[in-house]
Amino acid sequence: MPIRVKDDEAAEVRALDLFTGLEDDDFAALMRGAYVQTFPPRIELASQGERSDFLHVVTGGAVEMFASWNGRETVMATLEPVSTFILAATICDAPYLMSARTLEKSRIVLVPSEDVRKIFDINADFARAVVTELGRSYRAVVKSTKNLKLRTSLERLANHLLQRYAMEGNPTAFELGQEKRHLASYLGMTPENLSRAIRQLEPYGVTFEGNIVTITNPEDLTNFAKPSPLIDDPWS
Amino acid sequence: MPIRVKDDEAAEVRALDLFTGLEDDDFAALMRGAYVQTFPPRIELASQGERSDFLHVVTGGAVEMFASWNGRETVMATLEPVSTFILAATICDAPYLMSARTLEKSRIVLVPSEDVRKIFDINADFARAVVTELGRSYRAVVKSTKNLKLRTSLERLANHLLQRYAMEGNPTAFELGQEKRHLASYLGMTPENLSRAIRQLEPYGVTFEGNIVTITNPEDLTNFAKPSPLIDDPWS
DNA sequence: CCGCACGCTTGATAAATATCAAGTCAACAC
DNA sequence: GTGTTGACTTGATATTTATCAAGCGTGCGG
């Protein structure tokens, strides 16, 4: 049963860069057609190859984007609230290249693709916001390709940990925030090799206790990881 | 010495999806500020980390996009006439994530980024075209990431050859069209391994004679490569 | 014509990464 | 408490990929 989007949740969605520039009534028009749904863990929200009916916004929980071919599967990204996905497929009216599944119980706002395209056509500000968002996504994937082609898996892990470390505000210890096997797939390695890679980072002051990561020597780790804004900076 | 863009070359540029929807005077405004330049081979046209001053259009020759980190380098894409590059950086007004160099003597039309952003702001049709182009680019990189993470280098080579084969209209023999070491880097492998991979494809009816590729048994090769539109189709 | 440079190939070896097979441990259902 | 499940780890091994070191062949400058 479709449930209309309540005002407080709509406000969260509205806070996204994609929607802040929108006139009140245009945004209201989008939300009128939209609805919210809560999904249990491990539900596939979209499958690669399908056509786009809705722009999705995660407002609670966590969603994993993944892709598969010939019986193999790989994690492409992990999304946390509040973020959108399948914007490109929605705008281009093309089949999904990735699938999406909930990792935990999640709330998703579903905005009809047709409405998005309609507002996009009549509202120049929204069009600009879409371009900015698409540009950001494009650049994110280019960075990820560079990461894959230019670095070994150990270097990718080291840089990923530094990225998480910075995102948490440089605490000595922080939560990994996802299962290791998902991280492994995201980094393009097997769970077994992630285990071994973690060991290999010990000399650089990295310790794992369950899902708690401790970084005792950020300088050493940085020295090894050699992070670059042109690969690792999530902004710009 | 800047050289204004002549009408016949402007017509080529105009034929790009990005510009076809543009009003005559808007397009003329873009071309007024633009200029053409011919570059010798191996000239670096843009370097990663720099800021974008021009949208580039290749109208002759060939250009290679590449990226580097920590002394390593990898080919990200090869562009042939007529195509644009660094659209995302231009629109987002952000630093280049990739560098570009000419592979051979090449003609490049340089359109000031500021002009592009100006037209983008006042012309909804152009904004839409930019979105389409960005969406296409985004999807192309996502496919490339899937290719890298889900396939072995041998599978990547097989699929690449099938793609080229299809692009040439399924001829028994066709030109590779680039140096093998560049192809190797593009496919994420070393030149040595490309040599060996070519040998490994012989049982599937693939033969190389210099830069001429012969495919005697497309079915067998397809059977091995298992191409998927969600990775290999350059359109959609 | 010679010699050199350079791209390509080949073989031997090394490093990176994946696979397979146990084994440990914690969470959870009963 | 007991048993089961599933994630994680570890070691042994195999596969994939890279590196190193020649050698081959073509094209080009002198």
Give yes or no for CB of A208 within 7 Å of strand D.
yes
Q: How far is A5 from chain B (nearest CA, A)?
A: 28
| Contact state of A92 with B139 under an 8 Å Cβ cutoff | yes
Name the one residue in this structure whose structure tokens are 């950001």. A136
Region B153-173 average pLDDT? 97
Region B85-96 average pLDDT? 93
Is pLDDT larger for residue A144 or for residue B125? A144
Q: In which band, very low, low, confident or very high, does the pLDDT at A122 lie, cut at 50, 70 and 90?
A: confident
Residue A1 has pLDDT above 70, yes or no: no
Residue B1 has pLDDT above 90, yes or no: no
Is pLDDT larger for residue B185 or for residue A121? B185
In degrees, to the nearest 5, what angle opens at C-alpha B127 toward C-alphas B121 and B132?
160
pLDDT at B71: 95
Query: What is the C-alpha separation between A98 and B146, in angstroms, rounded?
Result: 9
pLDDT at A98: 98
In B 35-94, which Cβ lie closer than 7 Å to strand C? none
pLDDT at B59: 95
Q: Are A79 and A59 a contacting pair, CB within 8 Å?
A: no
Q: What DSSP letter does each residue of chain A carry, written as one string?
A: --EEPPHHHHHHHHTSHHHHTS-HHHHHHHHHH-EEEEE-TT-EEE-TTPBP-EEEEEEES-EEEEEEETTEEEEEEEE-SSEEE-HHHHHHT-B-SSEEEESSSEEEEEEEHHHHHHHHHH-HHHHHHHHHHHHHHHHHHHHHHHHHHHS-HHHHHHHHHHHHHHHTTS-SEEE--S-HHHHHHHTTS-HHHHHHHHHHTGGGTEEEETTEEEES-HHHHHHHH---HHHH-S--
Name the one residue in this structure whose structure tokens are 């984007």. A65
Residue A124 has pLDDT above 90, yes or no: no
Which residues in chain B have their CB less than 8 angstroms from residue A88's CB? 135, 138-139
In B 155-214, which Cβ lie closer than 7 Å to strand C? 179-181, 191-192, 194-196, 198-199, 208
Q: In which band, very low, low, confident or very high, does the pLDDT at B133 lie, cut at 50, 70 and 90?
A: very high
Nearest alpha carbon to residue B79 among B90, B63, B61, B92:
B63
The sign of the torsion formed by the CA atoms of B26, B28, B32, B36 equals: positive
pLDDT at A180: 98
| Contact state of A131 with B128 under an 8 Å Cβ cutoff | no
* Closest by Cβ to A149, choosing from B124, B148, B151: B148
Q: In which band, very low, low, confident or very high, does the pLDDT at A21 lie, cut at 50, 70 and 90?
A: confident
| Contact state of B145 with A76 under an 8 Å Cβ cutoff | yes
Nearest CA in chain A to B127: A127
Give yes or no for CB of A193 within 7 Å of strand C.
yes
pLDDT at B125: 85
Residue A128 has pLDDT above 90, yes or no: no
Chain C nucleotides with an atom closer than 7 Å to a protein C-beta: 7-12, 16-21
Q: What percent of chain A has pLDDT over 90?
A: 87
pLDDT at B191: 98
The interface predicted TM-score (ipTM) is 0.95
* Closest by Cβ to B144, choosing from A69, A136, A145: A145
Chain D nucleotides with an atom closer than 7 Å to a protein C-beta: 7-12, 16-21
Give yes or no for CB of A191 within 7 Å of strand D.
yes
The pLDDT tens digits for B44-59 are: 999 999 998 999 999 9
Region A14-28 average pLDDT? 93
The CA–CA distances, whole Å, from B14 to B18, B157, B235 equal 8, 34, 20
Region B177-192 average pLDDT? 97
Torsion angle of the four alpha carbons B63, B64, B65, B67, in this order, in degrees rounded to the nearest 10: -150
Which residues in chain A have their CB less than 8 angstroms from residue B151's CB? 69
Residue A162 has pLDDT above 70, yes or no: yes
Q: How far is B152 from chain A (nearest CA, A)?
A: 11
Q: 3-class SS at B159?
A: helix
Region B13-42 average pLDDT? 93
Instruction: Provide CB contacts within 8 A for B1, sequence distance 6+.
Output: none
Q: Mean of the per-residue pLDDT values for chain B?
A: 94
Domains of chain A: 3-148 (2.60.120.10), 152-232 (1.10.10.10)
pLDDT at A2: 63
Give yes or no for CB of A195 within 7 Å of strand C.
no
Instruction: Of A93-102, B122-131, B140-149, B175-184, give the lowest mean pLDDT range.
Output: B122-131
Query: What is the C-alpha separation between A19 and A27, in angstroms, rounded?
Result: 7
Residue B4 has pLDDT above 90, yes or no: no
| Contact state of A88 with B138 under an 8 Å Cβ cutoff | yes
pLDDT at B123: 87
Region B134-162 average pLDDT? 97
Tokens encoding B204: 């599937």
Q: Mean of the per-residue pLDDT values for chain A?
A: 94
Region B96-118 average pLDDT? 95
| Contact state of A92 with B146 under an 8 Å Cβ cutoff | no
Which residues in chain B have their CB less than 8 angstroms from residue A190's CB? none
| Mutation target among A125, A139, A182, A222 for the B interface, most CBs of B within 10 A | A139
pLDDT at A231: 98
